[in-house]
Structure 1
Amino acid sequence: MHRRPPLVLKQAALLALAFGAHAPLLAAEAFPTRPITLIVPYAPGGAGDILGRSVAKELAGIAGKPVVVENKPGAGGNIGAELVARAQDKDGHTLLLGATSLASNPSLMRSMPVDPLKDLVAISGVASLQNVIAVNPSSRLRNVSELVAEAKKHPGKLTFGTAGIGTSSHLSVELFKGEVGVDLLHVPYKSGGPAMADVMAGNLDLVFELMPAVVGHVRSGKLRGIAVTGSARSEALPDLPTVAESGYPKYSFVSWFGIFGPSGMDSRRVAQLNEMMAKALASGEFKSRLEQLGAEGMSGSPAQFDRFFQGEVAKWKRVVAEQGLPLMN
């Protein structure tokens, strides 16, 4: 039996330690190894789709691999959320663009296909943004006061379209109805695009649509904005007053979007994806794009975004109970 000289053994041990110490780094550098799929749980043309494609473009440049957007609309975003939660690969190649509805659905839906707090992992915020109350340019409704007066005169007659039950465009109206004491007829769609098209065509009275989806139509005159839903005016549409300015100071609604992955993802991969999103959010081009859309970037660590998300789930549980919002199928 031949015995290795002590020096050779020592060198081998040092090499093993060196490679072992750099294993996480090497693994990190190897990601992604194939295209990343970003599930957007809304149909093309809506705010979620617009933001999702902006994120995908920026991430692809950072990752060096394509980021493919797959639209999976329906059930207030639950269809897309379930696809990601049930994804076989948990290595960061399948991601979800989640939104406000991901936090509100557990309190609004009679049954949920997934538990977002248990079945998904929060990776990074993307953007926060206001909704815009918009009508057809020829509509008799020119401001919030006229909208409320008409709704009170004809309860349940004015129609509003949304991107689906439980989405932010729906929740913003439900809060408005409770705050001002009016009844409006809900017409749910699979995304905000078709709802806005029906307002333009005169088939629907109004939408409370997310800023990125509606801002271009308001600027071009295809829709008329009458107010924004946040606590302050938007730089994207500075001439529009807030609902609070219009006589209802307690009303305020702001939506958000963020990146999630399936639970069970390695924390180092979560951190790596968060770093990639931080680079995207710091990009001058992406900042400019968000500004054009009337949105604000949401930066922060995975832990910070997770705390924010847990707070949103708790908030909507409280709001649904306090407002007596009806449960949805």
Structure 2
Amino acid sequence: MHGVKRAKQSREAIEAKKKKEVALLADYRALEEDVIARKRAGDYSEEAFTLTTKLLKLNFEYYSVWNYRRQILERATFPNASPDKINEVLSVELTFTSAALRQHPKVYWIWNHRSWCLEHVPDGPSEEDPHGWKTANWNKELFVVEKMLDADARNFHAWNYRRVVLASLPVPRPPAEELAYTRRKIESNFSNFSAWHQRSKVFASVWETQEPGDVKLAKDAEFELVKNALFIDPNDQSGWLYHRWLVGDGADVSILSREVGVITEILEIAPDSKWCLDSLVHYKRLLLRGTPLGVDSRALRQECTEILQKLEEIDPMRRRRYQDLRREMDVEA
């Protein structure tokens, strides 16, 4: 705490602390050596499994120990177990990793182990409902990952895992529900890049099967949504990246022209926004590839050059990039 003097530790206390740390490190190394030796020897006993638990609690990022743990389950536990028993064992594993994620929500190997567990849930509980256990577990997992995203809405590990869960659900989730979810996340924080990215993934899949007219209506609505984000915070890259995805390769000149007009309005309230200026250059260069009738391409090229010169001033760390773009434009001319 600020303003509070720390009590000075005695030399004896410091030495005692060092000795304790040395002892703990020695214990860890001894445990590690034991587990690795058992792994190499092909020891798939219950004792070995217990030791992996002990070691992982000390180091959840030890991926080879996670692999060993799965080998024990596959080679010793599952072969002689009933489907009900396997489901029970995997439920315990999920509980173990749930506790780990509360402390280490961004450790990839924990998420990976959860996914493995769920993929190995057996069919059941009956012939009438063969996906019963699978459906229950994957639906619960969706709830778990939503809780994780409530705690940290921008945890990209959780968002990546969410896509795994959605793709694995025995009964697919309607796209409208996922779009509603991402919209809630975006409206609570426009800088949530992962939510924007997830939204693009859902739409990319949906639009493959929709009529052009329906796609256009949906895109127009998305342009309105992202426009609100850009006006609220012109300096945040999340909305700009989504906007660029929406525009695409610029084949639709009417959309390009409209969005250049929108960005010009944003520039009036945020004249030094790097992302605003960078996007304006990008879209104007797309317009140059198929210059609309009545548009002066020379003037458009000059506008891009002037914007790039300004970008060199306000974003000197990327000066070389902007100079390269200017040279590219000279070649294209």
Q: TM-score range by the shorter chain?
A: under 0.3
Instruction: Give the greater-gyration-radius structure (CA).
Output: 2
> More strand by proportion, 1 or 2?
1
* Higher relative contact order, chain-length normalized (CA < 8 Å, sep 6+): 1
> More helix by proportion, 1 or 2?
2
In the superposition, the TM-score normalised over structure 1's length comes to: 0.20
